[in-house]
């Protein structure tokens, strides 16, 4: 169970990270903060590239940072944008790899929590390990 205090901390962490986003093409900075089962928070920002397919989203940066440090169990992720935009399909798929029950908090730049959901609700009928192994 995520406390209100922890929700606020995740949103604040994502908002703080957002200032480091590299978004010269879209002008749409995104910050993410991922809470792992160990209690650590990993942040991420979107990093754009002139070759657009090479751009990476804040959510995936946070996940990849956590995984590269040995984390595999996620509790929640907060995503902050100017208008409370939801994670893209690629981010939903990456998050699903580590648990459909991961809580997703979507907030705007004024720290208003606009949506609280799960990865599974964002990505119904997710493609996962079960399909690959069959």
Q: 26's torsion region: left (phi>0), alpha (psi -120 to 50) or beta?
A: alpha
In the residue annotation, 48 being an active-site residue is answered as no
Q: Are 129 and 93 in contact (CB under 8 A)?
A: no
Residue spans of beta strands (DSSP E) within 29-132? 31-36, 41-45, 74-81, 103-108, 113-118
The catalytic position among 48, 59, 116, 121 is: 59
Rg (CA), the chain: 14
The catalytic residues are: 59
């Amino acid at each position: 169970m995520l406390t209100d205090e922890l929700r606020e901390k995740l949103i604040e962490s994502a908002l703080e990270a957002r200032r480091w986003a590299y978004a010269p093409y879209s002008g749409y900075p995104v910050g993410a903060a991922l809470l792992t089962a160990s209690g650590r928070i990993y942040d991420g920002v979107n990093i754009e590239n002139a070759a657009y397919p090479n751009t990476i989203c804040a959510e995936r940066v946070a996940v990849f940072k956590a995984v590269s440090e040995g984390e595999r169990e996620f509790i929640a992720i907060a995503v902050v944008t100017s208008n409370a935009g939801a994670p893209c399909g690629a981010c939903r798929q990456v998050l699903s790899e580590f648990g459909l029950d991961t809580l997703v908090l979507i907030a705007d730049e004024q720290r208003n929590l606009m949506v609280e959901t799960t990865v599974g609700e964002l990505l119904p009928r997710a493609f996962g390990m079960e399909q690959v192994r069959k």
